[in-house]
A and B are shown apart, each in its own frame.
Chain A
Amino acid sequence: MFFASGINGALGRAFLLIGIIGSLFGAIAAITSARQRDQAVAKLIPRFAVLVFAASFGAFAVMERAMITRDFSLEYVQKVGSVSTPAIYNFAAVWSALEGSILMWVLILAGYTLGVTYWLRKKMDDVLSRYALGVMFIVSLFFFMLSFGPANPFAAGPAGVFDGPGPNPLLQNHLLVMFHPPLLYLGYVGMTVPFAFAIAALITGRLGEGWLLATRRWTLFAWGFLTIGIVLGSWWSYEVLGWSGVWAWDPVENASLLPWITATAYIHSVLVQERRGMLRVWNLSLLVATFSLTILGTFLTRSGVVNSVHAFSQSAIGPWLLAFFAVIVVVSVGLIGWRGDRLHSPGSIDSPLSREGAFLANNVLFAVFAFVVLLGTVFPLVVEALQSRTIVVGEPFFDRLTIPIGITMLTIMAIAPVLPWRKASQELLSKRLFWPAWCGVLALAGSVWVGATGLAPLLTFGLGGFAAGSALRQVVLATRRQGLRGLVGRANGGMIVHLGVIIIAVALAASNSFTHSQELNLEVGKVASFSGHTFELVDVVEVKTERATAVKALVKIDGGKAYAPAITKYVLQGMNVGTPSVKTGLAYDIYLTLEPPVRQDENKARIKVFIKPLLLWLWIGGGLMALGTVLAAFPGRRRRNPTSPTSEDDFAADLLVML
């Protein structure tokens, strides 16, 4: 036992040290070879990338080994490990607290560094590639140091411990713990790649070139992973954790949403730069903002300054992250200022009613959206610092401010896809928007018909129909011209993403506005009814295992299948975790939760029933967004058609640039 534990701790530390040295020398090699144009040194860069990845993989593997062999000599294993945790949750326990998740960050970052190195293997002669890798190595160095120092997962714990509590109960009652955090991290950490290229472009001063075209796919994939991670998190919250909602505007959720917002803005506005060479400063700022928001978000949620239901662990990494955030901002702003002369873009935007005009409007909205989310997240800190009083900024605040923003975004989504570059004539708009507008009216009429009320939801449904009409119009036109190839490429894939977003907006509006609920005190043998459904308690059962006691109420809905909402008491942590049971439907979900206190002996159960309209469509929309992202990542038809200078003739080409 002693030897094994000594080995895990020492090996892990050794791997981290190798990672630090590898990142340091990688950064030095990349930057000196870039400055002195030294080919011999440049040849070393890939070797360091491999070394750094191997070190991170080694450290992660050692951590897994320690967890699997239940090496309780390590403090981290004492904290999140336990003899009774099932294998799969034990495997995932590595990233269930701060130190392990930083280790996962290191692994993913090293993986991205290696991936970018491989991708650049034939472009290594380019100074810009070397600088970009230099930045990646520097960021890696920071995270290796974080893991080696303040967030050390390999620290030795007190002796004589032979079992631990295991991971937080919320992290050991569903398989999703295997996927949601890693996917989110793939998105989060992936934003380092475009940031590295942005910094490299600033250093080399080559801002008008195609570096952003080259990194588009990296950004898109990171964005896609972040999207899937966020959607999976919502699904988890709804189906598994019994929070009955999909989004609570919790600080950790906001921290994942913030970079998503700025990255979404970038994915749109970069097209203006591609096409017209404009908005360079803005695009660079968005990339810098996206990356720095990942760091700031991690600081806010992992340093203990903000309370959160996700705050599974807190530690002393706060000052490190804050300092790193400050360095990123100062360096980036400094570089943008230094290169100010080269950033002035030629050209101008002729009309607000043009595709570039719509992208600008979209960006203004996304900027305000990001500001609102950031403000709501940090405002309690400001009040506490200035007036030492605690305030809570919750869902109602965010809802009030983000619903108008969302509705305006839907309006832009309805009009923008049909706009040509440069300038749109009234005739053209009237022609192209005609059928989409009727789609909107039909959607509105349909929702009034089924009984929807309230201005905001109705606007959402109507504009959703309008925007869906515009998106479908593009897809139909493109597939008519190009067959199945009309589905790939950024324009058409982008429209599929739009459809997913619209479906999500409609589902959110419906489920937030028209959910109703009722508590039912059920008794075995008696039938209660609510909202046209009957609920009959069949039995209340208690399932005891070594690590938890679950009380399940078996409830028959409409005399059919029995659903089993449960409350599980985790013995080691003394924590109750509710598990809902959901009867899913295309029109609405019936969502059952078992309410405390649970009285097992009396054959009675207090159940809360929620009827949630259209909720299933959130996940369908999320799937469509993921599909669209993949389609958009495939290269579409060559878009440049030099013989057709006007956008009217260049319509197919325009389609392809749209996202």
Chain B
Amino acid sequence: MKTKSVQNKWTWLLVVFAAVALLAFGSTRDSGPRTQADRIDAITKVLACPTCSGESVYVSRASGAEAIRAEVARQIAGGQRSDDEIIAYIEARFGSRVLLVPRSTGLDSLIWVLPVFVLICAVGTLGFAFRRWKVVGSDSISDEDAQLVERALREER
């Protein structure tokens, strides 16, 4: 088959290079200063409304969520604390049930560990299956097998 020159190795390298360069440029460039509203949104998205079921403070209109949002806004306006410090402060004030992200210590860490474990098991099983199929499924006989058969036949005689 004659391969057209546009699809050769060099143009593929160009594709890869362009993709990597664009990704590197796009993901590292500064997207401009974060406004206070952006910070409030980011923080309230990881806080749970204390009185509703599973909604974030960002989404909820309940009065409990309003109170937390107001507190977050006050802290940000104060300008003293970083986002993580504000989250820690809110947790200390309202209790750990306002955290929407499970912790990575103790029993709670299982929720992070188990998916990775399952993924490794699944990929491992698949890899194992492919190896087995490779052994079983090759249509042509390998030299090793041929020798085995020959040896067995010789012994038979």
Contact = CB atoms under 8 A, between A and B. Distances in A.
Interface of A: 243-245, 248-251, 307-309, 311, 347-350, 352, 357, 360-361, 364, 367-368, 371-372, 375-376, 379, 382-383, 386-387, 389-397, 400-401, 427, 430-431, 434, 437-438, 440-441, 444-445, 447-448, 451-455, 458-459, 462, 516-519, 576, 578, 595-596
Contacts of A437: 12, 15
A376 B18 contact: no
A361 B111 contact: no
B3 A431 contact: yes
Contacts of B46: 396
A430 B46 CA distance: 44
Contacts of B122: 364, 367-368
Contacts of A383: 107-108
Contact of B27 (A360, A386, A453, A518): A453
Nearest to A372: B115
Contacts of A453: 26-27, 29, 31
Nearest to B119: A368
Interface of B: 1, 3, 6-7, 11-12, 15, 18-19, 22-23, 25-27, 29, 31, 35, 37-38, 41, 45-46, 48, 52-56, 59, 61, 66, 96-102, 107-108, 110-111, 114-115, 118-119, 122-123, 126, 129-130, 132-134, 136-138
B61 A392 contact: no
A389 B110 CA distance: 15
A455 B27 contact: yes
Given A307-B54, A387-B107, A431-B7, A393 B22 contact: no
A419 B100 CA distance: 41
19 contacts: A249-B54, A309-B53, A311-B53, A348-B134, A348-B137, A350-B133, A350-B137, A364-B122, A367-B118, A367-B122, A397-B111, A400-B101, A430-B12, A441-B22, A447-B26, A453-B27, A455-B23, A518-B37, A576-B61
Contacts of A244: 59
B111 A245 contact: no
A561 B121 CA distance: 56
A536 B112 CA distance: 47
A247 to B, nearest CB: 11
A308 B137 contact: no
Given A308-B53, A368-B119, A452-B26, A444 B37 contact: no
Given A244-B59, A444-B22, A401 B37 contact: no
B38 A516 contact: yes
Given A352-B130, A453-B31, A395 B56 contact: yes
Residue in B11, B37, B96, B123 whose Cβ sees the most chain A Cβ within 10 Å: B37
Contacts of B118: 367-368, 371
Given A308-B53, A364-B123, A395-B100, A458 B41 contact: no
A372 B110 CA distance: 12
Given A383-B108, A391-B96, A517-B37, A448 B6 contact: no
Given A243-B59, A434-B11, A444-B19, 19 more contacts: A248-B55, A348-B137, A357-B130, A364-B119, A367-B122, A375-B111, A383-B107, A386-B107, A391-B108, A392-B48, A392-B100, A394-B56, A396-B101, A397-B100, A397-B101, A427-B1, A434-B6, A516-B41, A576-B61
Contacts of A431: 3, 7
